[in-house]
Homo-oligomer: A and B are copies of this chain.
Amino acid sequence: MERRNTMQKALTYETVMSYNGHPSADDIYRIIASEHSSISKATVYRNLSLLSEEGKIGRIEAFGNGEVHYDHRIDRHHHGYCRSCGRVVDIELSDDNDFLGMATPVEDGFVITSGEIIFEGICRECREKEKKNGTERIKN
């Protein structure tokens, strides 16, 4: 299957690459649509999938909120999210090769090929907000 270069695909790529952070598919769509209102959401979704399959952009699926996030970085690194506001941050591991070797599947015969760590934490802004309120958690 031959692959074509279209305006929409180029735009999708450029928007991810110039985004400072970890946008959701909808973030990217809204940015593009604000300049090119005729683009379709389905096209953005399709192109984001294609681009991440081609390895040109990163894809982060692991945040529970049900949203997929994309990433202009494609080098090896990990991610954390703020338990209060949900923002996603990059996290580096000082010794990134080791933790795969330390892993033992409980189920016999399962072969590990890769792994990524999802950290939870709290960002500076939310920490200061919580300190001000004197509350650790608002929940319940």
Contact = CB atoms under 8 A, between A and B. Distances in A.
Interface stretch (A5-13, A34-42, A90-98): A90-98
- The size class of the interface chain A forms with chain B is 35 or more
A94 B101 CA distance: 9
B117 A121 contact: no
Interface in A90-136: 90-95, 98-100, 102-124, 127
Nearest to A93: B102
Contacts of A114: 119-121
A76 to B, nearest CB: 13
Contacts of A80: 103, 105, 110, 112, 115
A74 interface: no
A55 interface: no
A124 B102 contact: no
Contacts of A93: 99, 102-104
A50 to B, nearest CB: 11
Contacts of A111: 121-122, 127
Given A63-B62, A103-B92, A117-B103, A124 B112 contact: no
A78 interface: yes
A105 B113 CA distance: 25
A14 interface: no
